[in-house]
Chain A
Amino acid sequence: QVQLVESGGGLVKPGGSLRLSCVASGVTFSDAWMSWIRQAPGKGLEWVSYTNPHTTHTVYADSGKGRFTISRDNAKNLLFLQMASLTVEDTAVYYCARLGPETCVYDWGQGTLVTVSS
């Protein structure tokens, strides 16, 4: 069965940076479309970014364009999200997710909490 385990969350000051990681198992990672989805405390789900298996096609939500970068290391089954210029509005649980066709989310990680606060 597919397992996705995120790490790298924590407390960061406004304007700071953070890199999230996600390690995948139980799936041929190099064939998988992957994404980051976030959920602010008490709020709904929001797409952050997704990528095809070789990051030749990446999509970002408007909220993260120019600040967030999705990347992956297929040899190590790793997905990353580099986040910069963070604001309090970026405070959320960030989920790593494996996608099926047309943004259907097949599998979710347990999430990692990012808190942006001074």
Chain B
Amino acid sequence: QSALTQPPSASGSPGQSVTISCTGTSSDVGAYNSVSWYQQHPGKAPKLIIYEVTKRPSGVPDRFSGSKSGNTASLTVSGLQAEDEADYYCNSYTGSNGVFGGGTKLTVL
């Protein structure tokens, strides 16, 4: 199973919005509403920020939102803040396992 495709980097200024894409196939992202997103700060464990494409766990700011169209899922971070600078990973169910994206490093300029 090949990794989902994410851009290696993204950036935005404080207060701006940035969208990170996650492209899979009709066997994973396109087949299931089971896409999740994780935020990872340097030296820390990842943290769930979006599940089932659009849902936010308790405690995650509503500045984080998710969507999906066809084989591509997206994470949008609105009103960028300095603490949003981190690596972001998507994951999709494949019917038998999960598959992660390669990760996107988000820089807040």
Contact = CB atoms under 8 A, between A and B. Distances in A.
Contacts, number: 57
A5 B103 CA distance: 24
Nearest to A6: B45
Contact of B89 (A45, A61, A104): A45
Contacts of B3: 44
Contact of B47 (A59, A61, A108): A108
A101 B35 CA distance: 11
A104 B89 CA distance: 12
A75 to B, nearest CB: 26
A105 B40 CA distance: 13
Contact of A47 (B52, B99, B101): B99
Nearest to A110: B45
Interface in A84-118: 95, 100-111
Contacts of A100: 51
A44 B89 CA distance: 8
B36 interface: yes
A104 B101 contact: no
Nearest to A96: B45
A44 B51 contact: no
A45 B46 CA distance: 9
13 contacts: A44-B100, A44-B101, A44-B102, A101-B34, A102-B98, A103-B91, A104-B36, A104-B51, A104-B91, A105-B48, A108-B46, A109-B45, A110-B45
Interface of A: 44-47, 50, 59, 61, 95, 100-111
